[in-house]
Chains A and B, each alone.
Chain A
């Protein structure tokens, strides 16, 4: 199945991509998809991410469906010091 992954912040910069169409096995979870997308950067990367599907935060074990939009969100750093 196909899932549209969107990357943000440092992950977007490291991958050099704003978004990417991922072709994945049916029944895969959000965290498994994140591992597929950025696990090659090192295990700390997928582990650090918050995930969202179709503009809602989800737990990593959420099962993805065809056409889902998966956002991979690094640790946030808004506000000021």
Chain B
């Protein structure tokens, strides 16, 4: 079984179908894919766009650690962890976590684990811009919308 971890940050558009196509493995009957897209509102406020910033070196290392942590828990085939950086518009793909495995139990569980861990651990920061000309760095101490 292929145990490739395809982990990367991208300033270019992420194509979930193309990434899914890289996960074919004859030993894997299951494939679970999570695609996260930019929503048009956050906590009831209209979002116009957002920027993702990353510590590139640390983010890549942590993506690989997340992948290895998943492999310690489940028997997995190839997997993809991909996160956008730079400017994104509403509807753009922000993150893809996808994993192949022999059976569906591992695929579902690992896919959920992968996106939850990516969100919790990988040094990426979201800067949102709202329709009322305010902006916010999500998660920062005392974060709140400020006038740009």
Contacts and interface: CB of A to CB of B under 8 A. Distances in A.
Interface of A: 6, 8-13, 42, 44-45, 47-48, 50, 52, 55-57, 71, 73-81
Size band of the B side of the interface?
A: 20 to 34
A13 to B, nearest CB: 6
- Interface majority SS (helix, strand, loop, mixed), chain A: mixed
Interface of B: 36-39, 42, 52-55, 57-58, 61, 83, 94-95, 115, 118-127, 137-143
A21 B22 CA distance: 44
Nearest to B43: A81
Given A45-B141, A78-B124, 15 more contacts: A9-B127, A10-B127, A10-B143, A12-B53, A13-B127, A57-B58, A71-B58, A73-B58, A74-B137, A75-B141, A76-B125, A77-B137, A79-B94, A79-B115, A79-B124
